[in-house]
Structure 1
Amino acid sequence: MKLTTLKAAACVAFTASAAFAEPVNLTLSGGNPGGLWSLLGAGIDRATKADDADSVVTYQATGGGFANIGLLGKDRTDLGLLHDAEAKIALNGGEPFQEPIENMRAIGYMYNWAPMHFFLDRGLAKKYDIDSLDDIVDSGAPLRIGINRSGNITSNVALFMLEEAGVTEDVISADGGQFVRAGANEQADLIQDGRLDMITNGIFINHSSFRAVDENSDVVLLGVPAEIVEATNEEFGTGTMTIPSGSYSNLETDVTTSALGALLVATEDMSEETAYSLTGSLVKNIDEVRAVHNSMKQLSPELLATPSVLPFHPGAERAYREADLIK
């Protein structure tokens, strides 16, 4: 990525000023051990250490975004990784929260390229003339549809998108089908074994579970009507992303859908100087985070500074302004 002369000068000035920041000592709540979020935790730790060897970001495994929001809400962690859609639900006090969680402040976007996928067995797609989500409701197809387990945000999003297309559990049951709760890898196994007809999830294009489905099952990726994408983004604070044609074996046209993103979040109780130092380290040493996984190569300072459903922490905002990333 090439910076303009003005932006480059601003980054140099920012680097010089941030060099005097105090080391940070923070706990970061993520997800499952060994998953992408644990790798991001290691990258964030390395980014802070690149500025000050005494800095420490200690990763702790949790149940994921909803659990991390609960920890942030009770001030039991310094930082949490969570999806933008989970943050939107928490702000509104939706399930699983009993009241709005309002003390969260964004440090930055870590990624925003986890699009919702809806794979359907190609034989059934041809038999019932299903090309898009909204074709299902009047098709009469007895579909067994994989939905992620409760507590995983992609289950909320998938069910909402299907409902917007008129595909409810009652409709599916009346046609002889059902919703089946299963995790990403389990869904891949079930459709390969012929025990599911359709799977849903919101993760990276060509994620290992999707590759397994594409390579071992004859499936098509369903289109998503624009009005459903718009309604989903309004409901969950998600973004819009296009899955390019050719990404999967039978994908001959682009598919535009809603995409989840992950945020690094602190609370309003974090000091401005700590948030400023942390954010500055991420901006300057972003290669440390990019290096954790091939899927993170797109991460940029500009993405870090992208507004989300949460307001920036004042310290993060100051760091981005000094780096000329926001106005």
Structure 2
Amino acid sequence: MDPTLIDTFKEVRMRRFTILGLGLALAFAAVLPGEAQNRNLTWTAGQVGGGWYTQAGGFVELIKSKDPSFNIKVVPGAGIQNMTKLQQAETEIAWGLPPFIVAAYQGQDPYKDKHPDMRLVMNGLGFVHSQWAVPADYPYKSIREIFESKKAITIGTTPPGGSDEWVMRKIFDFYKTSYNDVRSRGGKVILVSYTDLANQYRDRNMDIFFSNLAVPGASIQEASLGRKMKILPMDEDLIKYLEGFGLARGVVSKGSYKDVVNNDQDIPTVVMANTIVANAKVPADVVHDFTRALVSNVDAVRKVHPAFKDFDPKDAVRLANVPLHPGAERAYREAGLLK
């Protein structure tokens, strides 16, 4: 046979095999669930060095160990701005706090517009605690004394956009003062990352370290290692005022911090529950499998961070005024947590 014809037959046969292989691949992909092709998620957490960032990383490892199809990227965020990133589909999953989740969904302060794509995935994952930390030898015994003294103070928290700065501003409002008042008396208001706050405190460039963190907070622990501290209690009238903004009363439990000198007592403060939310457009099967990996492994969830040690799945579905994501709802029904 003519060698040219032989080459032609070979080429035709190879093309047929290529087309057949491509057809089989497309057919196989067509029968896969659509969600199985959409397991790449972004989880917007908190600042690097904060509890949320670490906790999200721990959950990602847990979920992936139960379902390797997930590829979840954790990125920095902040309590207030996370809700808007979720609404704008810049992230599929986010950490949130109930006062801001509800406010975002309803379009209330600090949000200008409603966030209708907000959906609850899981609530009740421990709490963030407002912590007013000062040096162990600080001359004032209460937050009220600090502001009534009208002396120069150096105070720091994280930048605007997160729950820390928002709560601190509410405290300033309660005591009828402002950042400008602090600066006018020769003081400083420092708005930087948790890591920088810990450094500023240790280096004695800052005396008051205000944070809204799960206990024990890594940056509080780090700061107290280099400079002994105490955490000031909140007065009852301040707690009642903050309850009006959706915060709840709580305590920094005794024994939470090794290098906090008043670690032998419960310290009154306010708290907000750690909550996972998702964009409504994330496929139901994806959120279902994400949620199932957590509610089916409660003991593992409790080991991710000390803040989760008392996690009860029954609390996961509770958040007034914000609907459950359909995928999460199905997972809870299967687990017997919803009727």
- Give the TM-score of the pair, scaled to structure 2: 0.73
Q: In structure 2, do the counterparts of structure 1 residues 253 and 56 end up closer, same or farther at CA, with 3 Å as the change threshold?
A: closer
> 1:240 maps to which residue?
249
The Cα of 1:118 is off from its aligned counterpart by 0.4
Bigger Rg, structure 1 or 2? 2
Q: Is the 8 A contact 2:103 2:109 kept in 1?
A: yes
Aligned partner (choices 318, 321, 325) of residue 306 of structure 1: 318
Contact 1:214 1:249 in 2 (8 A): no
Matched ranges for 1:284-303 at <5 A: 284-303=296-315
Instruction: Give the counterpart letter for 2:229 in structure 1.
Output: V
Aligned with 1:27 (options 41, 44, 48): 41
Q: How does 1:1-327 map to 2 (within 5 A)?
A: 25-31=39-45, 36-37=52-53, 40-41=56-57, 43-44=59-60, 46-47=62-63, 50=66, 55-91=69-105, 93=107, 97-109=111-123, 111-125=125-139, 130-235=140-245, 237-247=246-256, 248-307=260-319, 310-326=322-338
Give 3-state SS (helix, strand or coil) of 2:274's partner: strand
Within 2, Cα distance between the matches of 1:246 and 1:287?
Answer: 22
CA distance in 2, matches of 1:112, 1:233: 18
> Structure 2 CA distance, aligned partners of 1:137 and 1:227?
15
Could you tell me which runs of 5 or more consecutive residues in structure 1 were left unpaired when the two chains were aligned: 1-21
Cα 1:46–1:57 change in 2 (3 A) is: farther
1:204 alignment partner AA: A
Instruction: Detail structure 1 runs of 4+ shifted over 6 Å in the superposition.
Output: none
- Point out where structure 2 has 5 or more consecutive residues left out of the alignment: 1-34
Query: How many correspondences in the alignment?
Result: 300
The one-letter code of the counterpart of 2:101 is A
Give the AA of the match of 1:182.
V
> Which of 1 and 2 has higher RCO (CA within 8 Å, sep 6+)?
1
Distance in 2 (CA, whole Å) between partners of 1:114 and 1:182 is 19
RMSD: 3.3
Query: Which sits farther off after the overlay, 97-106 or 301-310?
Result: 301-310
Quote the sequence identity (%): 21
Is this contact kept in 1: 2:158–2:193, CA < 8 A?
yes
Distance 1:167-1:218 versus aligned 2 partners, 3 A rule: farther
SS at 2:42's partner residue?
Answer: strand
CA contact (8 A) 2:126 2:308 kept: no
CA contact (8 A) 2:252 2:266 kept: yes
Q: Deviations over 1:179-210 (max 9, x none)?
A: 22222222222222221121100113232321
What is the CA distance between 1:42 and its match in structure 2?
5.6
Q: Tell me how far apart the structure 2 counterparts of residues 222 and 77 of structure 1 sit (CA, whole Å).
A: 36
